Structure 1
Amino acid sequence: MTTTTLGGSAVRVTPLALGCAAIGNLYRAVTDEAALATVDAAWDAGVRTFDTAPHYGLGLSERRLGEALRGRPRDSYTVSTKVGRLLVPDTTAGPGDDLADGFAVPATHRRVWDFTADGVRRSLEESLDRLGLDRVDTVLLHDPDRHAEQALREAYPALERLRAEGVVGAVGVGMNQCALPARFLRETDIDVVLLAGRYTLLDQEGLAEVLPEAAARGRGVIIGGVFNSGLLTAPRPGATYDYAPAPRPVLDRALRLREVTARHGVPLRAAALHFPFGHRAVASVLTGARSPDEVRDTVGHLRRPVPDALWDDLRAEGLLGPGAPVPVDPPLEEPS
């Protein structure tokens, strides 16, 4: 796969990045063997960008990703992890699980929000230990929604120092809202925004401020949540949108989107994957997978052409705003 730099940094990312929450047992357990095979399949497909976080499975995702990458040339891939949640051993925990936070793992630790400078460094050191790496390429402030001022005053300057020291290559923020990432773009020198669920076929809120700000300032944007919690993979009653059952108007819109894409012989899933690449600020699309088959399915959809007429019909039916740019070519080349 080709690569693109993040903002003014030297960190390069592939168009498709593997999100590693699923191999941290998101919602249900994945075996060690399946997790390893998933990362191997992504590697075989040309993916060289991997995203994880301490939050994902109370460190399980980082440990599994590190194991899967062990032995591969370190300069041949990029890893991003996140700070803002420290993992503290829970000595009072019984045999319970972490499913209340979405992960099928034993509740051996509890998450403690910490956007102090010391918390940033501690979190990164612990992540490096779990990953088995001496450095990560990108560090993101993870969901600082309720800690905005501390994240701006304390956590971000700590990341800026780590970048200046060469400890990390790029810094940014990862969120599923637009207002605070836009503020970070205006007030700091971040390299990248990981924007989840806010620039999709269903929700183009990111087009109002985040994407134009990033483009104007030469910053990179990684788009996550392109399926809006699964609704754009199989829209039907009971499907989830933003981690909750989809409201009827949103479900109806997704069903209309599927009708249009089907007329062109394109799965809705494929159109959803392609759409973000139309914007020049988008450097990569991040998708999760828990099996090699899911990786291969995603790669196959990204390699198939999407006709211009599909985007034209979406606009004509009011399903795509007139200001939303659309991709011209498939983001992934056919294998040679």
Structure 2
Amino acid sequence: MHRAPLGRSGATVTRLSFGAAGIGNLFSPVPDEAAAGAVEAAWAAGIRSFDTAPHYGLGLSERRLGAALRRYPREEFTVATKVGRLLVPTTPVDGDDRANGFAVAATHRRVWDFTTDGVRRSIEASLERLGLDRIDIVHLHDPDDHYDEALGQAYPALERLRAEGVVRAIGVGMNQSAMLTRFVRDTDVDAVLLAGRYTLLDQGAVADLLPEAAARGVSVIVGGVFNSGVLAAPSPGATFDYAAAPAALIDRALRMQAVCRRHGVPLRAAAVRFALAPQAVTGVLIGARSAEEVTDAAHLLELDIPEALWSELTAEGLLPGGLPLPEAG
């Protein structure tokens, strides 16, 4: 699978990255063998970039991902993790972590920490959980309510670690484009991870982040291309951004699906390819919890999508005019 550099860094990512929240038991348990099988399938499909975070399953995602990757040559893959939430042990363990979206025992509690010391402690703990010799990419994770501390302490700490060669690339991961745009303008990040804000249903990032990133040579990785479910399987009860999707959005997704079917293309494939079209976008990140889901995601990149599909979506008012659209093939 094609690799591209992240900004001006020496780190690279494949067009498709493996998002490891799912193997951290996002929403429901995933057996150990299924988690390992998902990573193996990603490798077999040519995926060489993997994304995780301490937040995902209170460290379970990092532990499982690291264990699965240790069988492969370290120089052949890129691992990204995140800082901003420290995991503090809880004694005694009381209940589970489902309130935060993960089906794991509540062995730890998350503590927001974007201080210089917090960044170093977080990276040290992630290295231990991963069992790897280094982390390639480190993102500030969801600093929405911590902008001043993240900009004033966490970002300079990551910049020093990059200068020291401890990490190869640094970035920010968020579910909004406005603050990511501020980081692109005000710092020297290599990349940003944008979740859910450049999709077939939400193109908010086209007004701020995407042109700014392109102008400054910052790579954008797009996650959440299915908006948490409605663009994967639009139907009553589907989710949009991890909540029940409004009826109007479900109807819009169903109309898009009808157009895609007329051209013999799965809606999922259109969602993935649409996100790859802007100049600033280096790749997409898709979460998976099984080998079947990974294989399906990789297959979506190989499908032919005719230009007529995008023209029809635009003509029917399902996409705004003037957006960057994928080329045929």
TM-score band, normalised by shorter chain: over 0.9
1:127 aligned to 2:126? yes
Aligned to 1:78: 78
Aligned to 1:334: none
Aligned to 1:290: 289
Alignment of 1:1-336 (within 5 A): 1-94=1-94, 96-330=95-329
Secondary structure of the 2:173 match is strand
CA displacement, residues 101-130 of structure 1 (integer Å, 9 cap, x when unaligned): 011110000000000010001000000000
- Distance, in Å, in 2 between the alignment partners of 1:247 and 1:163 is 43
- Distance, in Å, in 2 between the alignment partners of 1:146 and 1:251 is 30
> Does the 8 Å contact 2:57/2:102 carry over to 1?
yes
Extract unaligned runs of 5+ from structure 1.
331-336
- Distance, in Å, in 2 between the alignment partners of 1:77 and 1:173 is 20
CA displacement, residues 115-148 of structure 1 (integer Å, 9 cap, x when unaligned): 0010001000000000011211100000000001
Greater CA drift, 178-187 or 313-322: 313-322
Q: Measure how far apart 1:240 and its partner are.
A: 0.3
- Distance, in Å, in 1 between the alignment partners of 2:322 and 2:149 is 35
Secondary structure of the 1:104 match is coil
Secondary structure of the 2:285 match is strand
Q: Measure how far apart 1:271 and its partner are.
A: 0.5
**Shift in alpha-carbon separation, 1:329–1:13, aligned structure 2, 3 A:** farther
Q: Measure how far apart 1:323 and its partner are.
A: 2.2
Matching residue's letter, 2:318: L
> Does the 8 Å contact 2:306/2:328 carry over to 1?
no
Matching residue's letter, 1:258: Q
- Distance, in Å, in 2 between the alignment partners of 1:92 and 1:74 is 37
CA displacement, residues 4-49 of structure 1 (integer Å, 9 cap, x when unaligned): 0000101010000000000000011111111111000000000000
Secondary structure of the 2:104 match is strand
- Distance, in Å, in 2 between the alignment partners of 1:288 and 1:320 is 25
- Distance, in Å, in 2 between the alignment partners of 1:260 and 1:149 is 45
- Distance, in Å, in 2 between the alignment partners of 1:277 and 1:146 is 29
Q: Measure how far apart 1:182 and its partner are.
A: 0.3
- Distance, in Å, in 1 between the alignment partners of 2:26 and 2:102 is 5
Q: Measure how far apart 1:329 and its partner are.
A: 4.8
Matching residue's letter, 1:271: A
CA displacement, residues 262-307 of structure 1 (integer Å, 9 cap, x when unaligned): 1111111110011111111111100011111111111112111100
- Distance, in Å, in 2 between the alignment partners of 1:167 and 1:66 is 18
> Does the 8 Å contact 2:66/2:130 carry over to 1?
yes
CA displacement, residues 201-238 of structure 1 (integer Å, 9 cap, x when unaligned): 00000111111111000110000000001000111111
**Shift in alpha-carbon separation, 1:113–1:8, aligned structure 2, 3 A:** same
- Distance, in Å, in 2 between the alignment partners of 1:154 and 1:324 is 36
Calculate percent identity across the aligned residue pairs: 65
Aligned length: 329
Matching residue's letter, 2:145: R
Matching residue's letter, 1:66: G
**Shift in alpha-carbon separation, 1:73–1:329, aligned structure 2, 3 A:** farther
- Distance, in Å, in 2 between the alignment partners of 1:324 and 1:140 is 28
Secondary structure of the 1:97 match is coil
- Distance, in Å, in 1 between the alignment partners of 2:328 and 2:8 is 25
Extract unaligned runs of 5+ from structure 2.
none
- Distance, in Å, in 1 between the alignment partners of 2:179 and 2:229 is 25
